[in-house]
Structure 1
């Protein structure tokens, strides 16, 4: 299983979110996409990671970007967790069955633990991976780092 890299086409997927909707990656062509992977719901760093996405929703919209929270948790767990976090805008997707299939496609599934890595993957408007960063499990990703990369992507398009 090889980690996806910048320049690769983003593998398409269809996953259920916390709003009981099926999200197809291919439906978002024309928008940048952030796949923000966390190992498991209900843990402190994962909670802070998802709240940072929700709290910065408007900033993502200004950069033509849709963030998605991603993990291998089951959809019912994602729904209850999102409700507990009062997530109104953010969709968090369940890569539960086949277990971790999307994480495997992106090269971030940890077979030994049955979870994904903590990672951020930015996909451009044409479905091409532009940036990948894997973080130590205990490290909260820096939201400002993501905005810097998105801003540079915007400048490259002009």
Structure 2
């Protein structure tokens, strides 16, 4: 499976987030959306990745961007994890049922491990894939690189 290609129309989705709200890509038309994928909650690199999103909330707002912290974990798991990490602003959607469907739609589901790859996917204001980067599982994505991409487009 290959990651979704830049320029492709981003597949719409609806998923419950850590606050038990339905999050849909189509609701953010006119804004950029960062799909920041992490394999599993409660692991060190994933924790740092989600904390970086929360820490940079103001920067995302200034860049007309909605950051979403996706994984295949369940909604109750994401809720407790967000509380433990003090994630108050960033939405953490659960790609749980059907398991990994959204990750599959974006070409980043790891069938062998049953989780998503670690990846950042930026969707532009018109719903098109603008940027895709897949990282080694143990590598923390560089939040400054993501902010740079968002500010240059």
Which TM bucket (shorter chain)? over 0.9
User: Are 1:139 and 2:139 matched, yes or no?
Assistant: yes
Q: How many residues align?
A: 153
User: Are 1:97 and 2:128 matched, yes or no?
Assistant: no
Match of 1:117 in 2: 117
Distance in 2 (CA, whole Å) between partners of 1:52 and 1:149 is 16
Match of 2:127 in 1: 127
Taking the TM superposition and a 5 Å limit, the aligned residue runs for 1:43-54 are: 43-54=43-54
Match of 2:79 in 1: 79
Q: Deviations over 1:104-147 (max 9, x none)?
A: 00000000100000000000000000000000000000000001
Distance in 2 (CA, whole Å) between partners of 1:19 and 1:97 is 17
Distance in 2 (CA, whole Å) between partners of 1:117 and 1:148 is 22
Q: Detail structure 1 runs of 4+ shifted over 2 Å in the superposition.
A: none
Unaligned runs of 5+ in 2: none
- Partner SS, residue 95 of structure 1: coil
Shift of 1:3: 1.5
Distance in 2 (CA, whole Å) between partners of 1:147 and 1:17 is 23
Distance in 2 (CA, whole Å) between partners of 1:78 and 1:30 is 27
